[in-house]
Amino acid sequence: MLGLNKKDTKFLLIVICLTLATPFLMQPFAEGTALAQFNGGYPDLMQRVAIFGIFAIGFNILFGLTGYLSFGHAAFLGVGSYSAVWMFKLLSMNIIPGIILAMIMSGLFALLIGYISLRRSGIYFSILTLAFAQMSYNLAYSVLTPITNGETGLQVRPTDVRLLDGANAPDYPNLFGWTMSTSYKWELGAHQFTFNVGFYVCAVIAIAAFYLSLRIFRSPFGLMLRAVKSNQQRMSYTGLNPKPYTLAAFVISGMYAGLAGGLLASMDPLAGAERMQWTVGGEVVVMTILGGAGTLLGPVLGAGAIKYLENIFSKINESVLHSWFSFLPDGLEDAVVWLFARFTGDGWHLTLGLLFMAVVIFLPGGLMEGGARIRAKFGRRGDIDETGAATKTPAE
Amino acid sequence: MSLIKPTRRGLLKGGAYAGAALATPTFFTSQANAYTNAPSGGKVTLGFNVPQTGPYADEGGDELRAYQLAVEHLNGGGDGGMMNTFSSKALKGNGILGNKVEFVTGDTQTKSDAARASAKSMIEKDGAVMITGGSSSGVAIAVQGLCQEAGVIFMAGLTHSNDTTGKDKKANGFRHFFNGYMSAAALAPVLAKMYGTDRKAYHLTADYTWGWTQQESIAAATEAKGWETVKNVLTPLATTDFSSYVAPVLNSGADILVLNHYGGNMINSLTAAVQFGLRDKQVNGKNFEIVVPLYSRLMAKGAGENVKGIFGSTNWHWSLQDEGSKAFVKSFGTKYGFPPSQAAHTVYCQTLLYADACERAGTHNPCGVGEALEGFKFSGLGNGDVEYRADDHQCFKDVLVVKGKENPTSEFDVLEVVEVTPREQVEYAPDHPMFAGGELGKCNAG
């Protein structure tokens, strides 16, 4: 189906089911119980997981296939966001023009940065992209203030032009009248599930993005990109020029990042310069490696894991911990709370760091390798390819 | 392994099921309540979104303490604080409208993106019916926009930019704190009296909405008194080392340095300026002076010795002797062991004002609460007679001009009030050029 073999079709269908069932999967606990703290099925987090999933899928096309490690992808995310918000201001609150311009602008931007950065490989390439990201951040933060509104961030206002919108068009981002923030709640006993329009828009686009990346992985073009990773010199000696392939991969992954940025702005119409900071570019690297670089599903899992940790663990503050450990004697309670407070709340980065170290040391192939090992343990032969299991080559 | 072999019939059938499944959500009750996050189960959740990391973390920490105190008082605990001196007597100490007040907290990191994400999760996950807090105008404007979209009330914390109730004002947003224009209007006459009318000023300005409007206001007000603005240099908010910005001041011919900085920024820039010996210099035959338009006790404490004799303005100071201020300082001091800052004061007032408006409106519905707040006149909250102007949701009240104390008696006694500028002197028309260009829009209840 759709140009895929049977195994990939099945894989794609599983991914579609998982994505569409996210509101259930991320909301496993009943409301009002102590474990409800760990529910993540609210619109903002689900949207973020889908959007950063797209970001990581795109990043993986460059890093997973060609091995070029870019620290500058946050710049494309930011360019996408700014383009989308400008479309909301000038043309229409319908998200379609915004997303299209986001992809075009980030593609052009990626072409420029890629053309220059790809003159070098390895660490020099990484440093060049890092430098470009930092430049873009500073441009957005202070130099280009008239376009980006600096630190305050670019926002939509009721007084904006919006050429295509009629008098009765919604004031918030929408898809032909469906506002992104609309949610339907379904109460099932003590459980409560939220179905959000914005999330399903992101989810459908994420599935399309995933399908495209699956096709790229399986195509002769994908094979060329793998050749670049395994031995670029040998590729040159056989008479093939790797440059156009790497540049194409760079632009494609840049456009994925732009798409993610455009979607971020569509879910919440504000574009801030922090989005372009290199730490965001570093975050997508961590997501990809945590999930499993070079695998198809890994980056999405990595994105989900990090966004979940960020949003749920950072909410567990000391008063929540006190309510958990109130059964302990006073002195002991304070000690235990102090210890846990280092790893939750503001300290969630510490938890992430430990998790990341554990994965890199014990599971070089990321969470996907972990999954494959578990499956192998239960007697099923782990498929050693990108569809369900880890690659043989660890992340670099 | 079972393989999926799609047939045309199978696909059509699947499509029909999928279509039916997609249509089902419309059967669910989506808008059971009249407004976003209507309280249920006898409790109401408020969202306190404050900076816990970054250059304004000190202010954020103090805001959080004041919020906890306010919640305690609203629920009938403690000594009641300013609830006893507040001119409106709608609050009974049994929560808000009989609902017990609970709260969730979030970290804005003083970044618009992070602040919005944190506010969003408080509204969507925790069911907060009101968001309040923040110590930066960039963040306040971003979160105010979000609350307008989500249909909850935003009670701004410490935000001093003209834009918050100027071109970025929103129907769901309310500000108790004063603004850059008011600071400038209060400060300029005092500066002209102290330092003369033929001064040359050099501005260092935090590069975001607050810095821009603060600088614009103070430059306009001092120029009206005869001062000349030599130069204005924008500094990024994340700057910690200001020496490269301070060094050029010496050769600019200016004899006044205006630091449009706040929080950690101001502590660092003032310290750099003092280390460069600016305050001991003579320029154009006059003593070189430094001015900090927006002052707070936390900043003055952070900058230590360097603030002595430096003029600025503030929204409130703990040494005020009216009944409201005394009650607040007493209950805050009893709970935490030190006096509150102006950030703590403004957020405590905002929480009480919100609760009171709910009681008077008889609902948590943002539109009803907004109506109750618009044009509301009150006193007893430490600033004398105050009015929430209906045109732009800005509070109008007296402004304090303060000076770094020469002989502090304790580590908290670092500022002295030089003048209480009456409200009439700092008032402006809602369509003043510095505030024009925005509109409140309609209140949104979600």
CB A24 within 8 A of CB A32: no
Closest CA relative to residue B414, chosen from B315, B290, B297: B297
Band of the pLDDT at A382, cuts 50, 70, 90? very low
User: Helix, strand or coil for residue A338?
Assistant: helix
Q: Residue B282 CA to chain centroid, in angstroms?
A: 37
Closest CA relative to residue A69, chosen from A212, A280, A282, A290: A282
Domain ranges for chain A: 27-278
Which of B113, B124, B438 shows the shortest C-beta gap to A42? B124
pLDDT of amino acid A61: 94
- In sequence order, what are the beta bridge partners of B202? B231, B257
- In sequence order, what are the beta bridge partners of A175? A178
CA distance A156 to chain B (A): 9
Closest CA relative to residue A114, chosen from A58, A177, A150, A72: A72
pLDDT of amino acid B1: 40
CB B408 within 8 A of CB B416: no
pLDDT of amino acid A388: 44
pLDDT of amino acid A394: 44
DSSP character for B151?
T
The model's pLDDT over B361-407, given as tens digits with 9 standing for 90+, comes to: 999 999 999 999 999 999 999 888 999 999 999 999 999 999 998 88
Q: What is the C-alpha to C-alpha distance for residues A295 and A298, in angstroms, rounded to an integer?
A: 5
Place of tokens 């909250």: B381
User: Helix, strand or coil for residue B263?
Assistant: helix
Interface test with A, best of B24, B147, B149 (most A CBs within 10 A): B149
Place of tokens 């990939």: A8
Q: What is the C-alpha to C-alpha distance for residues B348 and B364, in angstroms, rounded to an integer?
A: 18
Residue B131 half-sphere exposure, CB side, CA atoms within 13 Å?
37
CA distances from A295 to A232, A248, A358, B187, B370 (A): 21, 19, 19, 63, 52
Which residues of B are less than 8 Å from A185 in CB distance? 28-30, 32
Q: Residue A89 CA to chain centroid, in angstroms?
A: 25
Closest CA relative to residue A310, chosen from A289, A285, A283, A337: A283
Note which residues in 294-333 of chain B have CB less than 8 A from chain A.
none
Asked if domains B43-178+318-392 and B181-314 share a fold, the reply is: yes
CA angle B212–B47–A173, rounded 5-degree value: 65
Q: What is the C-alpha to C-alpha distance for residues B379 and B360, in angstroms, rounded to an integer?
A: 16
- Contact at CB, B438 and A172, closer than 8 angstroms: no
The mean pLDDT value for B164-192 works out to 93
Band of the pLDDT at B311, cuts 50, 70, 90? very high
Size of chain A in residues = 396
CB A205 within 8 A of CB A180: no
CB A333 within 8 A of CB A352: no
Q: What is the C-alpha to C-alpha distance for residues A112 and A136, in angstroms, rounded to an integer?
A: 13
Strands (E) across B207-304 are located at 228-235, 256-260, 282-283, 286-287, 289-294
User: Which residue stretches of A219-268 are H helix?
Assistant: 220-230, 232-237, 242-267
pLDDT of amino acid B30: 43
Round the CA-based radius of gyration of chain B to a whole number and report it.
Answer: 24
- Contact at CB, B125 and A42, closer than 8 angstroms: yes
Band of the pLDDT at A76, cuts 50, 70, 90? very high
Q: Residue B402 CA to chain centroid, in angstroms?
A: 19
DSSP character for B394?
B
Domain ranges for chain B: 43-178+318-392, 181-314
Interface test with A, best of B28, B33, B125, B146 (most A CBs within 10 A): B125
Note which residues in 131-170 of chain B have CB less than 8 A from chain A.
137-138, 141-142, 145-146, 149-150, 163, 168
The model's pLDDT over A31-69, given as tens digits with 9 standing for 90+, comes to: 777 788 888 888 889 999 999 999 999 999 999 999 999
Note which residues in 249-278 of chain B have CB less than 8 A from chain A.
none
- A4 phi and psi angles, rounded to 5 deg: -115, 155
CB A193 within 8 A of CB A28: no
Q: What is the C-alpha to C-alpha distance for residues A383 and A379, in angstroms, rounded to an integer?
A: 12
CB B162 within 8 A of CB B218: no
Q: What is the C-alpha to C-alpha distance for residues A146 and A152, in angstroms, rounded to an integer?
A: 12
Band of the pLDDT at A191, cuts 50, 70, 90? confident
Closest CA relative to residue A40, chosen from B232, B23, B244, B125: B125
The mean pLDDT value for B345-355 works out to 95
Q: Which residue of B has its CA nearest to A312?
A: B121
- In sequence order, what are the beta bridge partners of B291? B258, B311
Residue B178 half-sphere exposure, CB side, CA atoms within 13 Å?
32
Band of the pLDDT at A380, cuts 50, 70, 90? low
Q: What is the C-alpha to C-alpha distance for residues A205 and A55, in angstroms, rounded to an integer?
A: 12
Write the ipTM.
0.81
CATH topology for the B181-314 domain = Rossmann fold (3.40.50)
Q: What is the C-alpha to C-alpha distance for residues A125 and B149, in angstroms, rounded to an integer?
A: 42
Q: Exposure string (b/e) for A352-369, b if CB count within 10 Å is 16 or more?
A: beebbeebeeebbbbbbb
Q: B213 touching A, CB under 8 A?
A: no
Q: What is the CATH number of domain B43-178+318-392?
A: 3.40.50.2300
Is the pLDDT at A203 greater than 80, yes or no? yes
The mean pLDDT value for B432-441 works out to 87
Interaxial angle between packed helices B342-361 and B57-74, expressed in degrees from 0 to 180 and rounded to the nearest 10 = 40
Average pLDDT across chain A, whole number? 87
pLDDT of amino acid B441: 86
Residue B372 half-sphere exposure, CB side, CA atoms within 13 Å?
20
